[in-house]
Amino acid sequence: MRIGELSRRTGVPVPTIKYYVREGLLPPGELTSPNQASYGESHERRLRLIRALLDVGGMKVAEIADVLTAIDDRDRPLHKVLGAAADRLGADHDDQADDADTDGASRTARAVVADLVTRRGWRTHESNPAAADLTKALAAMDRLGHSAFTDVLDDYADAAEQVARADLAYVDREVAVEDMVEAVVIGTVLGEAVFNALRRLAHVDASAKRYGTQGQPGTPG
């Protein structure tokens, strides 16, 4: 199809499509004449993936380029590509370690995370950026006076394991091996957005039930 048709199908403006090609996010179309390129289904699909990671996942263009490189790397064994893709999906890895990383809250948080990983028997590698992200979040909570939040960490970990099991069962059942890396990226980024939205809905429900009628007699729910 021509670039105009690709734009119409995906809702992505033509100049934006050209920008993604220049940035290496989208492979160029096949030249059918010196001034015209033809795009296929794979371009349409890749474009939808880019938009989902941008619009739903809130990722930056440079982060998406990194993740797509991992997806397109067919020479590495699946297990390693999955790991590389997952590692690129953390919070913000280009952050320099700031001064705060060496304070008491950070040291405590690191110990809490190490304990948790041991207690749950989680197999993970030391450089997993998710462990660093977790440490950073817990240290920030500690600095805000919420060190006791670690008391509910196992409730969170139970829920995280349940979600991870559901994700893996889904991938096992629905996804062909050659699509697995892409599915993991989609599942990680979009699944995160799904869970976060569900958690906020569940919060509204839980606090309406607990505080709503009691604190505000007469208001519905």
For 10, 160, 161, 162, 216, the CA distances from 151, given in Å and listed in that order, are 46, 16, 17, 19, 30
- Beta carbon of residue 69, minimum distance to a second copy (angstroms, whole number): 19
Are the C-beta atoms of 4 and 14 separated by less than 8 Å? yes
Q: Which is nearer to a second copy, 7 or 29 (CB)?
A: 7
Q: Is 117 in the site for a second copy (CB under 8 A)?
A: yes
What is the DSSP code (8-state) at residue 28? P
Helices of type H across 56-128: 61-72, 78-87, 104-120
| Residue in 74, 155, 217, 218 binding a second copy, rule: CB under 8 A | 155
Q: Is 3 in the site for a second copy (CB under 8 A)?
A: no
Q: Is 159 in the site for a second copy (CB under 8 A)?
A: yes
Q: Is 52 in the site for a second copy (CB under 8 A)?
A: yes
Q: Which is nearer to a second copy, 28 or 58 (CB)?
A: 58
Residue 121 tokens, joined: 């028997």
Residue 13 tokens, joined: 């403006």
Q: Which stretch binds a second copy (CB under 8 A): 24-32, 34-42, 63-71, 189-197?
A: 189-197
- Beta carbon of residue 63, minimum distance to a second copy (angstroms, whole number): 12
Q: What is the DSSP string of 160-183?
A: HHHHHHHHHHHHHHH--GGGHHHH
Per CB under 8 A, which of residues 60..89 are in contact with a second copy? Answer: 77-79, 82-83, 86, 89
Per CB under 8 A, which of residues 191..210 are in contact with a second copy? Answer: 191-210
